[in-house]
Amino acid sequence: MRLHTFSMFGMPRLPPEDRQHWEIGEGTDSGLVIEKSWKELVPGHKEMSRELCHQQEALWELLTTELIYVRKLKIMTDLLAAGLLNLQRVGLLTEVSAETLFGNVPSLIRVHKRFWEEVLGPTLGEARASGQPLDPVSLQDGFLTFSQRFQPYVQYCLQVKQTMAYAQEQQDNNPLFHSFVQWCEKHKRSGRQMLGDLLIKPHQRITKYPLLLQAVLKRSPEAHAREGLSAMIAAVESFLRYVNKQVRQGEEQESLVAAAQRIGPYEVLEPSSEEVEKNLRPFCTLDLMSPMLGVAPEHTRQLLLEGPVRVKEGREGKLDVHLFLFSDVLLVTKPQRKADKAKVIRPPLMLEKLVCRPLRDPNSFLVIHLTEFQCVSSALVVHCPNAADRARWLEKTQKAQITLQKLKTEEYVQQKRELLALYRNQDREAPRTRPSSPSPEDSQSSAEGRTPEFSTVIPQLVVTEDVDEEPLLVPDDTSDSGYGTLIPGSPEGPHSVSRLGPQALRRDPRLTFSTLDLRDVPLRPQPPNAQAPQRQSAPELPGEGIRRGSSLPRRDPPTWSEEEDGTSVDGNVVAETLYRARLRRQLPPSPTHTDSAGESPWESSGDEEEGPLFLRPDCTPSPRPLRAEDMLREIREELASQRIEGIPEPQRNNSPQKLTRVQLRRMRGPHIIQLDTPLSTSEV
């Protein structure tokens, strides 16, 4: 009577939340319309080539079949689901679950509506507006995202078997539901579609997309169109492989559940007392649903072979058992008469530790189980009913071992690749410590006694220089910070770059100056002999005129009188005399650069970790007074290693000049020596 009422007055209107959930519409969607033929869209179709017309026919088939499929999905919601929900509202067929019967069909309808509005509809609209043929390349962006758009099909394909089985079961066992289904199939809106045919339509449609695209590709001569269509086909086929993989894993999981339900208690030991049995009970459980060891999680344990056999262990008699061969384990069970489940009577035999050998008896083979040390753990003689069964057991076991080894190898390689990629990402994201000049924040942190994030600070003096003609001269780590560290490319050019090593820091305490102090250090021109080693030591300073802990005063360089000397040497007699003395080999350069005492004050006599000699508290200056000759030699050595600011290089000539007595008195008289480098001393 209710169904007759539905036929006479139409389907009652459901509440808004039900209509929205089930995508139940009240009329035909205005956007899901299409012309009868593509020729109505292209006025100049008669002038088109035959191959292009075939391409348009293939594209038109893709569009029209899409709309037909959506309308068939709407039959399940607008007719079947709506009728069932209305009957349940009056207390009929309440035992039938609409969610189980139709699955996620409403989600599929939403997916295809969106696919039409965003991909297929715009292509059709462009052809309507321009009058040009349908462009297959315009579908590329939509089909390349096929896996993201059609994700609900994974759930539907996983449940389609259960859905069809549920529908068939309800029709066979529920007369009212059978009458309802017959009424729906005869309804004018159903189009004579059967319930089983409608439930299988989504699975058929999703697998038809590659065939429709291949038909378009076959009739597309343009290179860019063929390239785009090939990419679309590859994207769809990749999604189908993923769906098939998920379906196969689901079927394997169901098969494993069914097999696990047939295996009962785990009784491989006979406890000697109740106390022992109580302690063994927590460990007498076999979980076949757990993942296989060393194999990717997507691979499920499968039941490969089972059957009754007789086994013999040691000198005991033969025992009737039932063997279960899984993907990674062989179980020896004994059927129970009063129960459908078989109890496990031997420890699981892992296939990777299993060795099977045929015996002389054509119906028997030996099963050897090894330990981690590759020695025998247990051995069973299996007697099969006939030779064919023995061959089947040996073949299945060997194939299972090969497959298991392959899966474990693949998982091992995959884990190694993931680990390597993780290390590379960490190395790419990890901050790199590079030598840099100390910042004000670091200086403040060090002054306050705080340790920065990276305790190792590599000092670096950075002075830029742009030299076009002459190459940069970068001294080695043995260079002196005050004399040999900064060497400009030209007397008036910019500064050069120099880097200091830790050994130079230990030898020369002046390298511990801050960057701000080193900025004021004047640079000196390149010495005449570029290959000569730079001086490392400073001269001994006189004890008078220098305050403790202060810097040597700076003043203008001494001027020399041409009248006293009688010749003009551009005002630098001492430097010229020293230059000529070197030419005449009166003052050969020493690689060790010893001072007047024959020792280098910057070199430590013992361990390099000790400070410079003149800074050690156990060392005092020599009380021996300086003679005039020693002081003159010290001044000559110092001026040779360091040019006075503003004094040009002396010109070579063959007339040697000698120092006058007035010049010597001027050199010996003041006890303050003018240097071009501020040198802080703590001990004189």
- 377 sits in which H/E element: strand 376-383
Distance CA 524, CA 515 (A): 18
Confidence at 394, pLDDT banded by 50, 70, 90: very high
The answer to whether residue 511 scores a pLDDT higher than 70 is no
The more confident residue out of 651 and 637 is 637
Low-confidence winner among 9-13, 171-175, 447-451 (lowest mean pLDDT) = 447-451
| Lowest-pLDDT range of 150-154, 396-400, 443-447 | 443-447
Reply yes or no on whether the pLDDT at 682 is more than 60.
no
Average of per-residue pLDDT across 397-412: 95
| pLDDT(92) > 80 | yes
Q: Are 642 and 483 in contact (CB under 8 A)?
A: yes
pLDDT band at 361 (very low <50, low <70, confident <90, very high): very high
Q: How far is CA 450 from each of CA 173, 431, 441, 444, 446, rounded to the nearest angstrom?
A: 82, 21, 11, 9, 6
Tens of pLDDT along 365-378? 999 999 999 999 99
pLDDT of residue 469: 41
CA–CA dist 45, 47 (Å, integer): 5
Helix (H), strand (E) at residue 254: helix 223-262
Which pLDDT tens digit goes with each residue over 323-343?
A: 999 999 999 999 988 778 899
Q: Which two tokens stand for residue 175?
A: 């007369």
Query: pLDDT tens for residues 555-585?
Result: 444 444 444 444 444 445 555 666 665 665 4
Q: Quick one: pLDDT at residue 578?
A: 60
User: Mean pLDDT, the chain, as a whole number?
Assistant: 76
Instruction: Output the CA angle 227-233-237, nearest 5 degrees.
Output: 145
Asked whether residue 232 carries a pLDDT value surpassing 80, the answer given is yes
H or E element in which residue 628 lies: helix 628-641
Of 228, 227, 247, 251, the closest CA to residue 239 belongs to 247
Query: For residues 26 and 14, what is the distance between their CA atoms, to the nearest angstrom?
Result: 10
Better-predicted residue by pLDDT, 619 or 432? 432
